[in-house]
Structure formats: structure tokens, C-alpha cells
Chain A
């Protein structure tokens, strides 16, 4: 079975500093996607960043970047210049691509608090 592990239940960071959220996953598949989703107090699930497993280059989206280590099955999220609006629950997830029925598997989440 595929699993996703986020080992940090809670983290905090000062505004304008950098923070890294950890994620590891377990799969025997070779073709998959990895995601980070953000869930602010509004409860809405918002896509932060996506990485295709076949791409060696790490994905970046403005202040958000990932460190994708395929051999180690690690997918960490780095948030630079943290802002108060980054306070949220962050979920790591991965999806195996199949001809029939792609399923997204989520980790338990990391609560990030940005302090002023």
C-alpha cells in the first residue's frame, strides 16, 4: 500500500524567515505526481505546488519550492520569506497515474504558524 508520512505535526516560523516542511512516501511505482496542498482556516484546499516524478528539476512557484529526492522518496517543501498568510495546515500527497482511477493519497498534515 502507498503511504505518505509527514513527521512534523506542528511548526512555527518568524515572518520573513524560511521554513522547510518534510514529507516522505512509500511506493513501488515509477510514474506518479507529488503535491503540496495548503488548507487555511477557511478550510479550502489550495494547491501549492506539483512535481512530476519523471522530472529531475525541482518545481518552484514564487516563494515555494520543493526538494524532490526520488531515490530517497522524499519531497520537502521550502517556504521562503514567510508571510502571515502562509499560516495553514499543509498536506503532502502523491498520485499514481493509472489508466483507470488515479487516486491521491495524503499525509496527516503539518500545521504551520507564521509569527509576527
Chain B
């Protein structure tokens, strides 16, 4: 199993450009998340999707939009990139419930985005 796959791994944008980070998981997880990681600040939640067809704001949603396309895919879009959005972005997924292996977040490899 591939787990959680993010694309692209690296991207350089100019201020004002738009782009979409793609994320897919093959573990049949119900919830998916987008985090950003900045030095000294840990991982901060941007948006999450508790289940297919639902999305909710996290701690730092401004400047981002998301789409839960189906159970497998959860994309993050920057409509007009700003230098403050330079960061490493992580997609993650989780299966909630009582079964073994549930309630553990599995991460993608991360995407480094630089906005000039």
C-alpha cells in the first residue's frame, strides 16, 4: 500500500499565482487533514475533512480552500499565493473508531512550497 501520497513534493510560485496540492490515501480512512509546518511553530491545522463531502476550517485557514473530491482525495488550493504561505505542507489521514489501528494519523511525505 502506498499510504498517503502528496504531489508535488516541491514547488516555487510567484506572488499572486495559484496552485493546488493533491493528496490521496489508499487506506480507506474516513478523515483527512492539511497541516502546514513552520520553524518553531510545529504543525498547524489548515483544514480538515471528517468524512467524504464535509470540510471544516482548522487553526489557519485564511488564503486556502479545500476539496474532498471523494473518500480517497483531499486537495488544498492556494488561489493567490503570498510569501507568508511559504511552508512545508503535510496531508494526513485517519480512520476513527474502535478497531485496531484506528485513531492514528498517517502522514504524507510533505510538500515544500516557496512563494517569491
Contact = CB atoms under 8 A, between A and B. Distances in A.
A44 interface: yes
Interface string A83-116: 0000000010101010011111111110000000
Interface string B33-74: 101000011111100101000001010000000000000000
Interface in A12-42: 33, 35
Contact of B42 (A33, A35, A95, A106): A106
B5 interface: no
A102 B42 contact: no
B104 A45 contact: no
Contact residue range for chain B? 20 to 34
Contacts of A43: 88, 109-110
B56 A101 contact: yes
B73 to A, nearest CB: 18
A101 B110 contact: no
A50 interface: yes
B58 to A, nearest CB: 7
A106 B59 CA distance: 11
Contacts of B50: 100-102
Interface string B73-116: 00000000000000010101010100000011101011000000
Interface residues of A, number: 23
Contacts of A102: 31, 50, 94, 96, 103
A101 B103 CA distance: 11
A109 B42 contact: yes
A102 B29 CA distance: 13
Contacts of B103: 33, 50, 95, 97, 102
5 contacts: A35-B104, A43-B110, A95-B105, A101-B48, A106-B43
Interface of A: 4, 9, 33, 35, 43-45, 47, 50, 91, 93, 95, 97, 100-109
